[in-house]
């Protein structure tokens, strides 16, 4: 009888775990740490996606994002990063950024696609903003971003 009771509790816990995972997989992540960045005279309030799970979810399932906000993806070391837009509802532009804050290239990304958008050379950072944000401000490859990740004040 105790074995059945244990198995029942185990099964209930397992189902709750799966339900929690399913719920987490289709809701936007919130409460990520933030950092203030600058692009020339323009200020950005960026959420930091620093762990593998945070980077995997990214901006998925968001229905809107204020114009001055974005998400900075932080990786352990520079590499040839590629991003896609599966389960991402907003059109975004990805800026692939060096350790020094220099934008290597920009990629406009269509919502809910699995097209790969890759860095032109190894980078450690990717900043996603609403599509058109960089273009409207004249920010392009070669422009420099400022803020703690890029100036040694981590």
pTM above 0.85, yes or no: no
What mean pLDDT do residues 114-123 have? 97
Q: What is the pLDDT of residue 30?
A: 75
Q: What is the pLDDT of residue 151?
A: 85
CA angle 27, 32, 36 (to 5 degrees): 130
Higher-pLDDT residue of 140, 21:
140
Give the separation between CA 110 and CA 132, rounded to whole angstroms: 12
Q: Are strands 69-79 and 82-83 parallel, antiparallel or unpaired?
A: unpaired
Q: What is the pLDDT of residue 144?
A: 98
Q: What is the pLDDT of residue 53?
A: 94
User: Is-contact 111 90, C-beta < 8 A?
Assistant: yes
CA angle 126, 22, 32 (to 5 degrees): 35
pLDDT, mean over the chain: 86
Residue 15: pLDDT above 90?
no
Q: What is the pLDDT of residue 29?
A: 83
Residue 2 — pLDDT band, cuts 50, 70, 90? very low
What mean pLDDT do residues 7-19 have? 34
Give the separation between CA 20 and CA 126, rounded to whole angstroms: 28
The owner of tokens 């060096």 is 98
What mean pLDDT do residues 46-74 have? 96
Least confident of 26-30, 94-98, 125-129: 26-30
Q: What is the pLDDT of residue 25?
A: 59
Q: Using CB atoms within 10 A of its CB, is residue 129 exposed (0-12), middle (13-18) or buried (19+)?
A: buried
């Amino acid at each position: 009888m105790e074995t059945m009771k244990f198995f029942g509790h185990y099964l209930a816990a397992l189902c709750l775990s799966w339900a929690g995972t399913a719920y987490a997989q289709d809701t936007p992540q919130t409460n990520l740490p933030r950092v203030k960045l600058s692009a020339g005279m323009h200020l950005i309030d960026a959420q930091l996606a620093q762990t593998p799970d945070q980077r995997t979810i990214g901006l998925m399932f968001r229905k809107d994002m204020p114009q001055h906000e974005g998400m900075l993806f932080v990786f352990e070391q520079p590499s040839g990063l590629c991003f896609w837009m599966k389960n991402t509802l907003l059109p975004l532009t990805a800026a692939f950024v060096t350790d020094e804050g220099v934008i290597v290239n920009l990629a406009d990304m269509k919502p809910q696609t699995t097209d790969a958008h890759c860095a032109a050379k190894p980078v450690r950072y990717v900043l996603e903003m609403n599509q058109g944000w960089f273009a409207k401000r004249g920010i392009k490859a070669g422009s420099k971003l400022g803020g703690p990740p890029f100036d040694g004040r981590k």
